[in-house]
Structure 1
Amino acid sequence: MGWKTLDDIELAGKIVLVRVDINVPMEAGVVTDATRIEKIVPTVRDILAKGGKPVLMAHFGRPKGQVVPEMSLAPLVPALQSALGVPVSFAEDCIGGPAKRAVAALAEGGVLLLENTRFHAGEEKNEPEFAASLAALGQVYVNDAFSAAHRAHASTEALARLLPAAAGRLMEAELKALEAALGNPARPVVAVVGGAKVSTKLDLLGNLVEKVDHLVIGGGMANTFLVAQGIDVGKSLAEREMAPTALEIFAKAKAAGCTIHLPVDVVCAREFKAGAENETLPATACPADAMILDAGPQSVAEVSAVFEACQTLIWNGPLGAFEIAPFDRATNAAAAKAAELTRAGKLISVAGGGDTVAALNKAGAAADFTYISTAGGAFLEWMEGKELPGVAALMA
C-alpha cells in the first residue's frame, strides 16, 4: 500500500490533526445532509479509543483566503456532537493564538474543530509557512479527506510532510477500493462511462482503454461515438466536432485489446420531458426530428452479459437521461444487474461521481455495490490515472 493507517501509528496522549471533508449542505445555519459528517465518525472514534485528541481541520465553501462569516464552520458543531456523541469545542481560527489556546484546553475524550482553513490564502497556495503554523498545533497528521486529495493544499499536502502521517478510516477504505478496482484488479475489468460530453472525459477514456478489458459508453457521450461511425443521431445531444477524437479512442482501445460497447438499440423521443412519447429503435434508425434519450433493452442485455463475464466493475456516469422516466430504464436495469452480481459475490463493483451516486441511489442499487465513492473530482482524477497530491504526500 505504501501508506500508514491508524493501526500503524502511536496516538496515545497525542494531539492528532485530522483533515476531514465536512463541506455539507446547510440552510439557515442548520445542516440539511450530514452524510459527510457521519463518514468521519469511525476515524474520530478510533483516535479517541487509542487515547489521541482529535483536532479537526476542514474547508467550507470558497472564501478565497478571506474571512467570510457565512462560511464559518461554527454552525457545524451541533451536528458533529450529535454524530460523534462527545463534546466538540470550536476554535475561532485554525492557526495562531485562538487555535493554540483551544488545543491546550481540549479535554481527553473531546474533539476540537478549527475554523475554515480557507480563511487563509496560504491554504490553497500550499504555503510552507501556513502548513508549519498548522503543524505546530499537533504531533500526528491524519488525512481522512480523499475528496480533497486531488488538491495540493497546505492541509492536504504540505502538512503531511511535516508530521508523522497516516490515512484515516474513510481514506483507507477509499484507497483500498480503488486499488482493487484499477491498481491490481481481478480480471476481466469493465468500466461504464456515461454523461453528456466526451470533451470533459477525454483523459478518463484515454486512461481506461489501456487499463480495462471492456468499456461501456452511455449517455450523450455514446451519441458522439455513433456519429463518429457515420450514424445519424437526429437532434440528439452529440459533440459532432469530437468525432475524430472518438475515432482515436476506438483505435487506442483496439491496440490495447479493450472492447468498446455502444448502444445497439435506443429510446428516442421528440421532447425531453417526463413521460414523453417515445419509441425503441435500432441505434442506426433515430428519426431526423427525434433525439436519443436512453439505451434500449437489447443494449441493457448486452451490458448485463458483459457484467456477468467480468470480475471487476468501475462505474462513472448514467446510461441515459436517468433524471426523468421513462429514460431512466437502462441505467436502473444495468445498476440492478451489477448489484445482483455483487450480492452474489461474483463482481467487485466500485462507482463514483455526483451523477453516478444519484443514479445508483435512484435505482436502489447503491447499497449493494462494493464501494461507492462520494469524492467527485478526486475519484475522476484517479480514474484518469493522475497522481493525487494528498495521497502521494502520505506515501512520502
Structure 2
Amino acid sequence: MNWKTLDDLDLLGKRVLTRVDINVPVENGLVSDTTRIDRIVPTVRHILQAGGTPVLIAHFGRPKGKPVPEMSLKVTLPALEAALGVPVKFTTLDEAHETIAFAKNQVVLIENIRFEPGEEANDPALAQRLANLGDIYCNDAFSAAHRAHASTEALARLRPACAGRLMAEELDALEAALGAPQRPVVAVVGGAKVSSKLDLLGNLVGKVDHLVIGGGMANTFLAALGHDVGKSLCEHDLANTARSILANAEISGCEIILPSDVVVARSFAANADHKTVEANACSADAMILDAGPETIAQIGACFAQARTLIWNGPLGAFELVPFDRATNTAAQAAATLTKMGKLISVAGGGDTVAALNQAGAAEDFTYISTAGGAFLEWMEGKDLPGVAALST
C-alpha cells in the first residue's frame, strides 16, 4: 500500500483532525505511564510547527457509546500538556466547532470519541460530523487501525488523509519485517496458547525462513510429536492443528525450532526447585516452564545467521526467576546483533514489550510496537481497515 505522510500535505492554516491513541493507564486520578502520550508528540509538534491546528480525537476505556464520567479524557490533560510543552484546549464534540474556531495553531482535545454510539458502528453520520470540524485527516493511532470505526476508517475517506509520524514509523517497520524483508527472516512466537495465534503461525510459515516457537504453546507442539509434557500448560485438543502447521512449514521450507531441552519444575513459583531435561523427558508430575541451554544456544545461532527478526511472545515463564533465562538471553542476543548493525529487529505485543524491557534489550531493538491487537493482525496477514483507508 501507498500512503501519504504529514510531509506530503500543506498544513498551514489547516485544522488537522488527528486520531491518536492516548488510552493510558491511570492510578489515583493521574496518568501512571505516559508512553502512548510521549509517542504522539512528534506528530502534534510537526502540525503546530507547520502552522496547523491539531484537533486530537481519541478513545479512553470501553464506555460502550455513552458518557461515563470516569472515562473522560480530561484526566490526560496534565500529562498531555507536560509532554507537548503547550496548553491543550479540551472540548466535547458538541462544542468542538466553536472551540476549534478560536484555537488557531493551538492543540485541541475532543472528549472520548467512544462516548458516541456511532463510533464503534463506523457510522457515516458521525464521521461527517467529525469531518466538518477539520480540513485534513491524520491517523497516528496504528494501535486502533485494526478496527473499522468512524474515527479510524469512515473519516479517513472524507478528507485528504495521511499517516502521522508514529503510524508511518510503525508501517515502515512492519514492511521491513514482513513486507519486503532482508533474508534470512526469523520469527519468534511465544506465549501461552496456540489457539490465540493460529492465524499468526499459519501466515508466518509461508513468509519466514525460521520460526522459533516457545512458551506454553511450544508444549502443545511437543505433545503433538508424542512427548509427555506432564502438568505443563498444553492444548492437547490442538495436536492435529500443530501437526498441520509443522507439515505446512516443511512444504514451504520454513524451519521450525522447538525446544530440544526444557527446564521443568513441580510448582509454578519463582525459584522453585527445577532441573533441565530433554524435551521428551518431562515427568508426569512436573511442568515445563522454560527452554533449556541447548535450545537457547540454537536460537542464538539462528539469530546470528539472520538478517531480520520479528518477535511476538516470551519463550518461557519470564515473570518468574529463573524461568526468564531463555527469554532474557535470546532478547539480549538479538539486541546485541541489532546494535552491531547485523540484524533488523521488530517486536510487539504486551507481554513481549514487558519481557524485552525486563531483559534490558528493548532500547536496542530496531522497533518496538505497543499496538497489541493491530500488530498481531498485521503479522497474521490481515488487512487493517484504518491502514487501508489511508492508501492512495
TM-score range (shorter-chain normalised) is: over 0.9
Kindly provide the CA deviation profile for residues 246-278 of structure 1, in whole angstroms up to 9, marking residues without a partner as x.
Answer: 000011101111010000110000101001000
Q: CA deviation at 1:235?
A: 1.0
Alignment partner, residue 323 of structure 2: 327
Correspondence 1:160-309 to 2 at 5 A? 160-309=156-305
Correspondence 1:56-135 to 2 at 5 A? 56-91=56-91, 93-94=92-93, 96=94, 98-108=95-105, 110-135=106-131
Q: Which moved more, 1:78-87 or 1:345-354?
A: 78-87
The 4+ residue runs of structure 1 with deviation greater than 2 A are none
Q: CA deviation at 1:55?
A: 0.5
Q: Which moved more, 1:196-205 or 1:26-35?
A: 26-35
Alpha-carbon RMSD across the aligned residues, in angstroms, is 0.7
Separation of aligned partners in 2, 1:301 and 1:79: 44
Separation of aligned partners in 1, 2:141 and 2:356: 22
Q: Secondary structure of 1:22's partner?
A: coil
Separation of aligned partners in 2, 1:127 and 1:107: 28
Kindly provide the CA deviation profile for residues 15-38 of structure 1, in whole angstroms up to 9, marking residues without a partner as x.
Answer: 000000000011222111111100
Query: Match of 1:265, as an amino acid?
Result: D
Alignment partner, residue 33 of structure 1: 33
Separation of aligned partners in 2, 1:275 and 1:263: 21
Q: CA deviation at 1:135?
A: 0.2
Alignment partner, residue 53 of structure 2: 53
Alignment partner, residue 23 of structure 1: 23
Kindly provide the CA deviation profile for residues 321-347 of structure 1, in whole angstroms up to 9, marking residues without a partner as x.
Answer: 000100000000000100010001000
Q: CA deviation at 1:74?
A: 1.1
Q: Secondary structure of 1:242's partner?
A: helix
Q: Secondary structure of 1:364's partner?
A: coil
Unaligned runs of 5+ residues in structure 1 are none
Separation of aligned partners in 2, 1:245 and 1:26: 40
Percent same amino acid at aligned positions?
Answer: 70
Separation of aligned partners in 2, 1:250 and 1:191: 15
User: TM-score, normalised on structure 2?
Assistant: 0.99
Unaligned runs of 5+ residues in structure 2 are none
Separation of aligned partners in 1, 2:348 and 2:325: 20
Q: CA deviation at 1:284?
A: 1.1
Kindly provide the CA deviation profile for residues 267-312 of structure 1, in whole angstroms up to 9, marking residues without a partner as x.
Answer: 0001010010000111111111111000001100000001011100
Separation of aligned partners in 2, 1:70 and 1:289: 47
Q: CA deviation at 1:211?
A: 0.5
Q: Secondary structure of 2:276's partner?
A: strand
User: TM-score, normalised on structure 1?
Assistant: 0.98
Correspondence 1:308-387 to 2 at 5 A? 308-387=304-383
Q: Secondary structure of 1:123's partner?
A: coil
Query: Match of 1:99, as an amino acid?
Result: A
Q: CA deviation at 1:129?
A: 0.3
The size of the alignment, in residue pairs, is 392
Q: CA deviation at 1:79?
A: 1.0
Separation of aligned partners in 2, 1:171 and 1:278: 44
